[in-house]
Each structure stands twice: as C-alpha cells, then as structure tokens.
A and B are shown apart, each in its own frame.
Chain A
Amino acid sequence: MAEKPFESSSSSESSPILLASSMDTTPLRKLLHGISEFVVSSSTCGKKTAATRGRRILHRDVEREEFQYGGGGSGGGGGGGHCLSSYYSVFVARLAIMVMLAILIGLLTVLTWHFTKVYTTKSLNTLAFGLRYELLQRPILRMWNILNSTSEITTAQVKLSEYVIRRYSKPTNQAEQVELYEMMKDITWALFASRKALNAITINYKNGFVQAFHRDHRSNNTFYIYSDLANYSISSTESYHNEMLSSRKGWNDQFIHGNVSAIWYRQPLDPVTGEKKGKPSQIPPDDLINIAGPSQVPDGVASWHVSVSKYTDSPLLSAALPVWDATNTNIVAVVGVTTALFSVGQLMKELVEVHSGYIYLTSQQGYLLATSTNAPLLKNTTKGPKLMMAVDSDDRVIRMGAQWLQEAYGNKFPPGHVVHVEKANLGGQHYYIDSFFLNLTRLPMVGVIIIPRKYIMGKVDERALKTLVILISASVCILVIGCVCILILTNGVSKEMKLRAELISHLDARRRAEASSNYKSQFLANMSHELRTPMAAVIGLLDILICDDCLTNEQYAMVTQIRKCSTALLRLLNNILDLSKVESGKLVLEEAEFDLGRELEGLVDMFSVQCINHNVETVLDLSDDIPKVVRGDSARVVQVFANLISNSIKFTTSGHIVLRGWCENPNVCSDSGKFSPDQKKPLSALKTKLKQHGNHTKKAGKKDNKMILWFEVDDTGCGIDRSKWESVFESFEQADPSTTRTHGGTGLGLCIVRTLVNKMGGEIKVVKKNGPGTLMRLFLLLSTPADGVEQQGRIDFSKHSVAVILALHGSMGRMTMLKWLSKNGVPTLEASEWNELTQILHELFHARTLDSGFDTHYSLAEPMRSKVQSLQEMKNSVYIIVVDLGLLDLSTNIWKEQLNFLDKFSGLVKFAWMLNHDTSNAIKMELRRKGHILMVNKPLYKAKMLHILEAVIKESYVEPQNRSPNGTKGTSKEGDSHECLEIDSTQFETCSSDDSDETAGASSISSVHIREESREGTILKSSPSTLRNCLVEFTRLGLDQCNTRPKLHNTEDIKPENPDSPEQPSVRSNAKDRITNEPKSLQGLRILLAEDTPVLQRVATIMLEKMGAVVIAVGDGVQAVEALNSVLDNDNEHRNNQVETEICDSPPYDLILMDCQMPMMDGYEATKAIRKLEERTGWHIPIVALTAHAMSSDKEKCLKVGMDAYLTKPIDYKLMVSTILSLTKQSSP
C-alpha cells in the first residue's frame, strides 16, 4: 500500500521517490510478491479493510495526494480542487513532510529486512551446501566401496581360477575334468562365502559349463547352480576355441541362451557350510541368474554393467573378467560377480531418515540405481524386470527432480555433471537439487540429492516473512500516525497562524479606530472654544433681547423658546465636549479643597425645585463621617451628581430621590450605621466612636490622605432592566429606546458620569434594589487635606435639651432627618399631616389645645403617645417644630386659621417653616407678621437642621437680639457677614473668586440656583462662604426691597457652561446691572496693559478708561517688565529720599492685563519676570492673562507661571470688569 503512490507518482516531488522506488524495486517486488503469495485470501482481505480504514482516516490527505500525483489512485482528487487553491502552500508543505517521512520509513524497513534476511540466508546456504555435499558423498562412497569390493572379488576369483585351471590344464579325461570342476567349485564357494554381500559368482567355462553360486537375499537361501555336465564334451572345447577365435562375438549368447538344450540344476546349499542340503533340481532357463559369458568381455578386459534379476528388486552390479590360459592368449573361462546395490539404497534411506530429502543414483543414461525411497527401482515388463529411468520413478519428488534437471539442462550437463540449484520449484515447493558425477570407466554414475528448501530455510523464510510483515505493518502504522500528526500539527499551526493574522488585523483595526476616535476627540476638544463662544453669544444676545421691552408677546414667547433651545444645545455641546475632552485625555482634574457637603447641598437645593413640580421628594443623606473639606475637582464632582440626579428625576414621576453618602471607614462601616444608625446605642458609645473616627481620619490623613467616599443615588423611578446595567453607561445609550421620546436626553449623561468617576479613581454601577427604581452606587477616591480634618465644633444638642417635632410631608426626608436627630441625641417626634401635628401638640400641651378649633377625634398611636410622654417629661426643654408649609391648607383660606392655631403655641415652641421655592410672598409676609422668623427652603437636610437648632439654641440664650433687624444670629463666624444680607450677588461672586478659583464652579451652580429660587434664597445661598450662615434666614422686612430687582429670573436656565469661565453668564447679567448703576467701577485703578496688537490695545484701553481706570499700555512683555522695573527704581529712590511710605506700600499698578502671545517676550515669560521682581518688594500685583486659547490647559499654564486670572479674547467687557474687580478688591479694599 505504501509504495503505491511512490510508483504511481508523477508530480514534481516524485523524483526522489522514483529514485527510491527504482532502488527498491526488486526487494519491494519480492516483498509484494511474497505477501500476495503468502497471504492468500483472508489476511489480504483484512489488510484491504485496514487499508481502507486508513484511507478513510487520511481521506483528505489521500485525496490531496492523489490529486498531487495526477490521479495515482482511484480518481477522487477532483473534489478537493477548490480548497486546494486556498490552502495550497500548506498542502505542499504537508505533503513534502509526509513524503519525506514515507521515504525514511520505507528505507528503514527495507534495510532492516535486508540485513536480517540476507546474511542469515547466506550463511545458512553455505552450511546447507556442505551438508548436501556430505550427504551425497556418502552413498557414492558406499557405491565406490561396493564396486571396489566387487572388483576385488572378481580379480581374486580370476586369479584363483587361472591358477586352478593351469594346474589342470589340458585335462585329458573326464575324471580330471570333473576334478577340476570340483576344485573350482570349492574355490568359488570359499570366495562366495567370504563375501556375504555378493549376490552371485558365476564361472562360465569355455566349453559352456557353468558353475554358479547364488544367494537369494529375500529368502536367505543359497543355491549352487550348474549346467548339465553330460552335455558338454571336452572335445568341443577346441572347436569352440577356434570358433571363438574366429568369431568371438555371439558365442556366449548363443551358448547360454540359445543352448536351450542345456539342462540347468539348482542345488540349495547351507549358506554357512556350503554343504548340499537338498537334491539338485532342474530349473527352467527363466529362473537363471545372470551368468557372465564371454560376450561380456569382448576385449578381454573387465567389464561392468548393471543388471536385474528376478530374485531381487534392486539392480545388480555385475562385473565380468576373463580368465586367461597360461599363455595368456586364450580365454578359458569368464568369471562374473554380481553385487546387489541394495545396501546403497539402505544407506540412503538411513541418511534421509536423519536428514529429510531425497537421494538417488542413476547411471549416466538415467537409469535409477538406488534411491532413498522405497519406490521400486525396477519395472516389470513382459520380458521380466527392467531398470527404470529416474524420470519414470514412482516417487513423485524424484521424478519431478529428474524431470526438472532434464528440462533445465537436457542432455547438455555441465562438465562433471555437477549441478547446484538452490531453488528448484517442484510441485509448488522449493527444493535444493545437487548432483555429483561418479566417473567409472565402464559405469559412470550420477548422484542426485533433493532436499526441500523448507527443511533448511523454512524457519528462516518464515521468520523473514514474519519480520517483513511486522516491519511493514509497523512502518505503515508509523506512516499513518506520522501523517496524522503532521496533519494535526500543521493544522494547529495553520490555525494558529490564521488566528494570529486575524488578531493582528484586529489589533490594527482597533488601533486605527482608536486613533480616529482620538482624532475626533482631539478635534472636538480643540473646537471647544469655537463651539462654545458662538453659543454663549447666542444665549447672551437672547438674554439682551428678552430684556428688551418692545417685544410683543409672541416675539417674547418665540425668543424664550429660542433661548431654551439654545440652552439645550449648549448643554448637549458641553456634554459632548466634556466627553471628548475626557477621551482625548485633555481633561485635567483640578486638585483643590472644597466643601463637599455644601456642594451637594447646593445641588439638592437646586434639584428639589425641579422635583417639587414633579411631586418627587429630594433627600440628602450624608453620614456624619464624611469629611467636611476634601481635595478634588469640585466642578466635576458636582457634575457627576448633577447628572445622576437629573437622570433620576427624568425617570421618577413620584416617590423620592435620595442622595446618600458615607465614608468608607472600617470603624464606622462595621456597625452598618450609614443608613440606619443604631438608635438604641448609648450616646456615649456613639460619641466615642465619632471621636475614634476623628482620630482615625487624622492618622490616615497624615499617612495617606486618600479617602474612599461612597455615594448612592436612589430613586423610585421606572428602574433599569438588569441586562442594561452595564450598557447604560455607554455613550448614547438609554435603558429603553422609547424613553428618548418621553424623557428626552442624549444618553451622554451617564457616560460622562462614568468617565469622570473613573478618572477620579472610583467606580460606578447599578446595584440591586428592593422595590421599584434604580440604585446607582459609586465611590470616589478623594484626598482630604492633611491638616484640615478637624471635626467641626459641634454643639452637643443633648446638653441643651432640645426636642424636635418634624411635621413634614415627605416621608423619606422625614425619616432620614429623624434618624440623624436621634443619633445626635435629640428627641424627635414626627407628623406627616396636619391632624397628626395637632394631635401631638394637643398631647404635649394639653391645656392649650382644649380651646383649639382643630381639636380632633383622632388619637395617636400608642408608641407615639409614649414618645410624646417622654418628651413631656423633659423639663425646660426647647421645642422646635419644623413645619412644612405644605401641611397647611393653602388652597383655601384655612391656612390662616391654622396659623392662628399654631400661634397659640408660639410661646412654648419655636416654629421653623419649610418653604417651597414658589411660596407666595403673601404667606411669607403673614408668617413674618406672626413672628415666625425661622424659615428655610425645602428640602430639609442636615446642615439646615443644624442651623435651625443652633439658631434656636442661640436665640434662647440671646433673646433680645433676636428680633433686631441686623440679627446677629449664627453669623459670628465672619465679621463681615452681616453685610452679606445686603450686598448684592455680584459681590458674592467676587467673594467666591477671592476664596478660590476652584469653588467657582460650585458657586456658579448655586448662583444658578439663586435665580430659580426666590430672592431670599438667592442672597442666602449665593456665596459659598456665607452660605452656611445665611441658610437660616432671620427675616427682616427691610430685605424685601431686594425682591424688586427685575429680570433676574430670565437667566434661570443658564448653566455653568464651562469650568473655564463659569461665572460668565451670571456675572454678565450682574455686571450689566453694575454698568448701568455705577459706570465708573474701576475708578482710580492703575492698570498696565501689555498687548501687542494695536487694535486690541486701543479697544482694551478705551474699555478700561471708560470704567475710570488709568491705563498704561505697552507693546510687549519686555516693555511691561521695564515699566514695572522703572517704577520700582523710582520707588527705591523715593524710599531713599522720602520717609513717606505711601507708594512703597502700594505697588505701582493695581493690575496687569497680559497678552499671552507677544513678540520679544510673551506673557508667560513676562509674568515670570514680574513675579521675580516682586520678590524684593513683597507685592503681589494681580496679573490677568489675555489669550485666544480657550483650553483648560492654557488656563493651567497661565496660572502656573503666576497669573491670577484668565480672560479670553475677544474681551468680554463685563467679564473683564468683574474679574478685575474681584482681584483688585483683595489687594486694595
């Protein structure tokens, strides 16, 4: 099977194969032959099936191979054509390897077989040849011996006969004649008896008398045979002699056979003694043995021949010698000796018994003389037994051997008749045939030995065959396995290659995609300025337009609509830009301290307005352990929560939205107190815990002030399907596509949230929630300032015996507040509606409620009652009732009566009113009139509550100051805070800028919020620095005049556009007011303007001069530095000359406006130089950068070199003024 493709191969790779096949052709042929011969049917079938099985396994390969070799097989190669083209190279490689393997294995097999077989055969053959030679030599030797002994006997007989006949030569009478014969008989007997092997001795006298001894080996009898003496006359001897002389030929035959008249007698003898045992009996001539006559010695020399007799079944060897007379001229008698060749046959048989095989001797003519078999050597014919030719032998093998020899050599035997044939095929079997020639003068003989090959080489052949079969099957197996292995290996390799190629292409594609996405992001990031500026312009212009009084209502509506759309567009733009900024890696998070709690409170304030319309409650639930001040990017943190909350609001139609926050701290978290602090825990334990916590944070702050802050935004909206929990954070992804219609939005919000959160080292995910809605949980990694983690000086409320009654609508907020209060040791009661409140009041102040018109039949639940009672027991306690304005029935006029009812308790309790943002002025007025001065806007959260409590406590101490217009309230923290109620919001803005730039974003948010709420809110919350103190409003009627400010609501939709210039919109409107009110706001300021572009220089100069500032303009950075330097030098002189330190104290310029890109020396360099100069003096002249770049990185760069603020070109008039004001205010108040 294996060599088939080799032989049939014709493709390019076939040359080595052909070589190999031609090299191996003979052994392979033999092999094939041997196999086909040996394995007849069954095993061949088995092999075929095995082969077909192998074929099936290697089906594909075989097909390919066949295809490759040009249809060497069964022509199934056409099918694989199409795949061939694609995998051509792989196939070629595979095939080459397989072919190599096949060649190797084939060679190995053949060589192994050859070496094992050939050498054995050779040595065995040598041995076998010796054996055969030896075997044949022995019967031939025996033959030789027999011949020798026969000839010896004959010669002895002749010599004796000669001697006797000479003695009795010329017998004269009958008596002498008889005596002679008697003598001869004795002598002959002696000789005959001495040789047992002799068959017969005959003496034929000249006169025709015959004496013979004969031994019948079969019957073991010995006979003496003689002719009738009476018939012979001595006289006839002479004539006979003469006759003989004249014509010797024909004498004897005539004499013996023709002489029918002669009477023959046979006398049995004792074989040992030779004595006569019986009477001589006459025998017919037929029974005569061979008697040598003169005819057999025609030349007078010895003659040999082979004869047969009917007494023995083996051929006889006869020798005849003449007996000469004394003169040696006449033959007087002929002596014949006959020996049976039986013993040779016997020897042969013995030999053959030991070594198998056949031996036979033939005469040169081919007559069989002796064989090793029992087959008869003679054939009976009508004329008696005759010698048989070897080719006619009864024995099959001998016959066939003889025939084979005859066929092979015919009559032309090689010289010496020596033939050695190793593989003669006789009747389907192999034999060794060897023949030797025994060249006797008269009787040449040929010995042939036939030994079956099986006897000598049988085992070898068998072994060789077995070895071959095993070798071939092993080779085939190895080949098959090897091919399969190669196939698998190359398959694996090619698969791996393919996969690798795919992977590479994928990576490539991904890289390209990333690159292109990066380009996009960068493009967008670069475009930020170009995109935002026009939008800002559009919105600003629209604002101006809206302010215009001459618009018709329709126009106004349209413009408002445009305004809204623009705002939406700007928001979208901001989102996209934010995202791209983050993606392009341009977003740099600021690292500044900010008050996290305050930011979030502002956020909740802002959103609660939106929520109230939706009938959704917004609750802020920050745990106490959250550090007050953290470091980070406040604007971004706020953005995260703003996005999350606005998202929640979008999907929540009723219920609540809770923003929870807690700090990851093993101490605090372990009691799982974040949501439900254990109320039963003793207060002291809680306090120690807090203390511990404080210590802990302090310690942590020293080592590593990073903190993990956890937040949750929990809403009761429609919820998000579990499968979308991950994908909602992808770009442009909303949980339900249909929501886009109902809720709007771009789906960018959450994506921005996640990128921002990730950027801040946190994570965000949606977590499982009990009940409807969504619960988003995130953590941020914010650092706390190393030094500023001291716990706020908190009033210990438990000492002040304060009790709170929470009469609020929203259950969530109420509950949260309740928990917090209880945790801090403030006994609390809760009421969710008016009736409940009255009930509690009734219980608490029993006497008073009797005359209440609102007395109810409504009894309190048992636990509440017990609580009330426990409250009652607290003596001298201050009761604070936090009343939601919504509890009052505002739809009708009942609320006034309700107020009246509550008024009755005013002496006993303090009321704190929770106002809605849209609470009408009338109600507020009424409340104030009634003396309810504690009013806060919804929602109620920790800080507000804290301030209510603080206020009440302080009030209770400083009673008289309470109602003074400039109420000192809780504002002792900042000396100027009493002003804050009067200064307008612009100043708050500037204040905030003074504070730190980083809080600008937050302040802008709150300032946005300002406009959404009523005027009080505006003032109270506008400035983060004063927010805390203003949260609680001590109502002063005088404040109402502030409410008259018009148009502020118009900007309510303005969002912080950009952290770079967050104040822009809010300040703009304020500045606008300012411009109209006090045009010379920059009066007296000296400003150095460094600007190279003449146009800009001129414009800026005019702008500033219009504001009353003194402007010194220079053309580049060098001039700017020089201008300062010269003043400084002058200044130094001044100092030398004058004692007056007025100029010394104040820098030459109040402010420097610095263009960033200038020839000679750019703004950055100039700033650095100026700052260096300043080192000597200790001044800090505010430097404001003017640049056309809008990126945050530019801002960063500006601030880094020591500039204080940053303005973009084209110069926005109002923004510039406000910036300058904020900066100069600090340095020159």
Chain B
Amino acid sequence: MDLVQLQRQLVDYRTSLYHEGFLDEQFTQLQSLQDENNPDFVVEVVSLFFEDSERLLNELSKALEQQVIDFKRMDAQVHQLKGSSSSIGAHRVQKLCIVFRNYCEAQNVEGCLKCLQQVKHEYGIIKTKLESMFQLEQQILNAGGSIPV
C-alpha cells in the first residue's frame, strides 16, 4: 500500500479516535514522551494498561458474583482502573469509571453490573481501536515510513 495513504489513514484514524472521545490529550502526552530512548513506550504502556485492566475487570466480575459484595474493595479497583485509563487517555473508560464509582459508593449492585458491562464494552472497543492503530503504525514502520505526529 501506498505509504502516504497509510500515513493519512493513520492520522485520520487517530483524529477520529480523539474526535469520538475514545482518547484525550493524555494520550497525546503519552506519545510525546516516546522518543529514541523509548521507541515503544506507548505500546508498552498501553499493553500494561491492557493487562492491568483485564486483571481488574476479571476481579470486578468475580467480586460482583459473590454473595456478599465488598464494595470498598471494588471501589478501590475501579479507582485504579480509572487512574490507569486516565493515564493513557482512554477517555470513555475513565468516564464510565466515575459513574461506576458512584454506584459503588451507593452500593448499587444493579448499577455496578450495568457499569461493568459498559466498561467491558468500552474497554473492548478501545482495545481493538488501539490495537488496530498500532497495527497501522507497525505497517508504516515496516514500510519504512515514519509515524506522522
């Protein structure tokens, strides 16, 4: 494929991600931190985020299946998720986490379940989106081009 086209595609894709609110400026900051010393910084952090989030989401699902739900612990976990998602700029996940935390505080099981589903959904979306973006970047890099800023 044409390199230029690929690059444009990447830029468009990234813009759409910003535009649709999947990502925010934090991701930009993240990208700006990436340099020659840490060429894969973004990918590294994002995969860290994936790992962490998956762990947290699993724990949350388990916690919600329990008879007695430890809302305090859940609250802490959601807080963590919120922190990490905000750090990579996964905006939608972060927003949902805020709602989720409110439900946790209110000890609203139904709300929590609903939120968990939504968070999972959003997480899935951002994961695929980011992965496809990384793929695009990889393609560009493989094609010998540079990633446009």
Binding site for B on A (CB under 8 A): 530, 537, 540-541, 1092-1096, 1098-1099, 1102-1103, 1106, 1155, 1157, 1159, 1188, 1209-1211, 1213
- Taking CB atoms, residues of chain B closer than 8 Å to A1106 are 33, 35
C-alpha gap A1210/B76 in the complex (Å): 17
Instruction: Flag whether B13 is at the interface (Cβ < 8 A).
Output: no
Q: How far is the CA of A541 from the CA of B29 in the complex (A)?
A: 12
**A1096 with B83: CB separation less than 8 A:** yes
Chain B residues, CB < 8 A from A1092 = 80
Are B83 and A1093 in touch, CB under 8 angstroms? yes
Interchain nearest-CB distance for A527 vs B (Å):
10
Point out the residues of chain A lying under 8 angstroms from B29, CB to CB. 1213
Instruction: Find out whether the CB atom of B48 lies under 8 angstroms from the CB atom of A1094.
Output: yes
Task: How many A-B residue pairs have C-beta atoms within 8 angstroms? Tell me.
Answer: 61
In Å, the complex CA distance between A1093 and B41 comes to 16
Total count of chain B residues near the partner, CB < 8 A = 27
CA distance A27 to B24 in the complex (A): 104
Which of B26, B44, B80, B88 gathers most chain A CB within 10 Å?
B80
A1155→B85 CA distance, assembly (Å)? 16
B51 at the interface (CB under 8 A from A): yes
**Beyond known contacts A1095-B84, A1099-B45, A1188-B82: 12 more, CB 8 A cutoff:** A541-B25, A1092-B80, A1093-B80, A1095-B52, A1098-B48, A1099-B30, A1099-B33, A1099-B88, A1103-B33, A1159-B76, A1188-B83, A1210-B26
The complex places the Cα of A1094 from the Cα of B33 at a distance, in Å, of: 17
Which of A537, A1093, A1102, A1188 is within 8 Å of B52, CB to CB?
A1093
**Most chain B beta carbons < 10 A, residue from A1096, A1157, A1159, A1209:** A1096
Q: How far is the CA of A429 from the CA of B103 in the complex (A)?
A: 103
Complex: A174 Cα to B92 Cα, angstroms: 183
Complex: A548 Cα to B2 Cα, angstroms: 29
Could you tell me the distance between the alpha carbons of A1155 and B87 in the complex, rounded to whole angstroms? 13
Q: A537-B25, A1102-B38, A1210-B26 are known contacts. Are A1095 and B79 too (CB-CB below 8 A)?
A: no
Docked-complex contact B80 and A1098, CB < 8 angstroms: no
Do A1095 and B49 form a contact, CB below 8 Å, given A1106-B33, A1188-B82, A1209-B87?
Answer: yes
Among A1155, A1157, A1159, A1209, contact of B86 (Cβ-Cβ < 8 Å): A1209
CA distance A953 to B52 in the complex (A): 69
Query: Is B98 part of the contact surface with A, judged by Cβ < 8 Å?
Result: yes
A1095 pairs with B48, CB closer than 8 A: yes
Instruction: Give chain A nearest CB distance to B76 CB in angstroms.
Output: 6
Contact B79 A1210 (CB under 8 A): no
**Using a CB-CB cutoff of 8 Å, which residues 33-89 of chain B contact chain A?**
33, 35, 38, 41, 44-45, 48-49, 51-52, 76, 79-80, 82-89
Cα–Cα, bound, A1209→B88 (Å): 11
Asked if residues A530 and B45 are in contact (CB atoms below 8 Å), the reply is no
The 6 nearest A-B residue pairs measured at CB: A1095-B84, A1095-B49, A1210-B86, A1093-B84, A1096-B87, A1093-B83
Question: How far apart are the CA atoms of A541 and B26 in the complex, in Å?
Answer: 12
Which residues of B are found within 8 Å of A1094, using beta-carbon distances? 48-49, 51-52, 84
Query: Nearest Cβ in chain A — how far from B60, in angstroms?
Result: 15
CB-contact partner of A1098 in B25, B44, B85, B98, under 8 A: B44
Can you list 13 A-B pairs, Cβ within 8 angstroms, ordered by A?
A537-B24, A540-B25, A1092-B80, A1094-B48, A1094-B52, A1095-B52, A1098-B48, A1102-B45, A1103-B33, A1157-B76, A1157-B79, A1157-B80, A1188-B86
> Is the beta-carbon distance between A1099 and B80 smaller than 8 angstroms?
no
Which among B45, B51, B87 is the interface contact of A1210 at CB below 8 angstroms?
Answer: B87
Q: Are A1093 and B33 in contact (CB under 8 A)?
A: no
Q: Which residue of B lies closest to A1214 (CB)?
A: B29
Q: Are B24 and A1099 in contact (CB under 8 A)?
A: no
Distance of A1157 Cα from B82 Cα, bound (Å): 12
Kindly report which residue of chain B lies nearest to residue A530, judged by CB atoms: B98
Known contacts A530-B98, A1093-B52, A1211-B87; A1102/B80 CB under 8 A: no
In the complex, A1095 Cα to B94 Cα: how many Å? Answer: 13
Partner of A1188, one of B38, B48, B49, B79: B79
Query: How far apart sit A1098 and B83, CA to CA, in the bound complex (Å)?
Result: 12
Residue of A nearest to B32 (CB): A1213
Contacts of A1188 in B (CB 8 A): 79, 82-83, 86
> For residue A1210, which residues in chain B have a CB less than 8 angstroms away from its CB?
26, 86-87, 89
Expressed in whole angstroms, the minimum distance between the Cβ of B141 and any Cβ of chain A is: 20
Contacts of B24 in A (CB 8 A): 537
Chain A nearest CB, measured from B135 CB (Å): 21
Scoring B residues 100 to 125 as 1 if CB is less than 8 Å from chain A, else 0, what string do you get?
00000000000000000000000000
Task: Decide if A1095 touches B26 in the complex (CB within 8 Å).
Answer: no
Q: With the chains together, A1210 CA to B82 CA distance in Å?
A: 10
Contacts of A1093 in B (CB 8 A): 52, 80, 83-84, 87
Expressed in whole angstroms, the Cα–Cα distance for A358 and B44 within the complex equals: 146
Complex alpha-carbon distance, A1213 and B87, angstroms: 11
A1103 to B51, CA, bound (A): 21
Which chain A residue lies CB-closest to B44? A1098
**In whole angstroms, how far apart are the Cα atoms of A1096 and B80 in the complex?**
9
- When distances are taken between beta carbons in the complex, the residues of chain B under 8 Å from A1213 are 29
Cα-based distance from A1211 to B86 in the complex (angstroms): 9
Give chain A nearest CB distance to B28 CB in angstroms: 9
Distance (whole angstroms) from the CB of A1025 to the closest CB of chain B: 32
Chain B residues positioned under 8 Å from A1102 (CB to CB): 33, 38, 41, 45
**Among residues 12 to 36 in chain B, which have CB atoms less than 8 Å away from a CB atom of chain A?**
24-26, 29-30, 33, 35
